Amino acid sequence: MENSSPIVIGCDHAGFALKELIKDYLTAMNCAVSDCGTYNDGSVDYPDFAAQVARKISSGQYLRGILICGTGIGMSMAANRFPAVRAALCNDLFSAIMSRRHNNANILVMGGRVIGPELAKEIVRAWIETPFEGGRHQSRIDKMSCMGT
Ligand code: RB5
């Protein structure tokens, strides 16, 4: 994990506690983290924070991001509206690994009201460490990049 690229992270109130924990987990592993908020558990709107993180991925400023809300559903819906964003909702380990191997996911989304801290840490570690397989999976991703235009 020492050589992983910096991570941009964001959450809403329902993801705040887990975001703080994951931020500490990444920092302890020498992974640089840029925190876009929210910074407390007061009620906020998840699209505002999804947009902050997704914009930084879409522009190429960061290669990897993490978003956390209550279920992960709203954050993934919002983030995937941005060009070149491939946000994957992964509340289990297998999905996290496959989202990297096959989908080259650049944003990991989790639900702070769905999974516990230990599973979330395992998911984050696996997601960061698993490489994209490329090949036939790249051409499938290429097909998505021009969809709807
Ligand atoms: C907030 O109550 C909740 O709706 C939000 O965190 C998220 O789960 C939406 O998808």
- From residue 33, give the alpha-carbon distance in Å to each of 40, 65, 101, 103, 133: 17, 9, 23, 23, 25
Nearest CA to ligand 1 atom 6: 70
Nearest CA to ligand 1 atom 4: 70
Q: 125 in a domain, yes or no?
A: yes
Count up the domains in the chain and report the number.
1
Q: Is the overall model pTM greater than 0.85, yes or no?
A: yes
Question: How far is it, in rounded angstroms, from Cα 23 to Cα 8?
Answer: 10
Q: Give the single-character DSSP code of 115.
A: S
Q: Can you give the residue range of the structural domain that contains 123?
A: 7-145
pLDDT, mean of residues 74-84: 97
Q: 26 in a domain, yes or no?
A: yes
Ligand 1 contacts (CB < 6 A) are 12, 14, 46, 69-71, 73-74
Atom of ligand 1 nearest to the CA of 73: 10
Q: 41 in a domain, yes or no?
A: yes
CATH number at residue 16: 3.40.1400.10
Q: 96 in a domain, yes or no?
A: yes
Q: Which of 71, 80, 109, 113 to mutate to test the pocket of ligand 1 (most atoms within 8 A of CB)?
A: 71
Q: Give residue-wise pLDDT tens across range 101-138.
A: 999 999 999 999 999 999 999 999 999 999 999 999 99
Q: 2 in a domain, yes or no?
A: no
Banded pLDDT at 147 (limits 50, 70, 90): confident
Q: 83 in a domain, yes or no?
A: yes
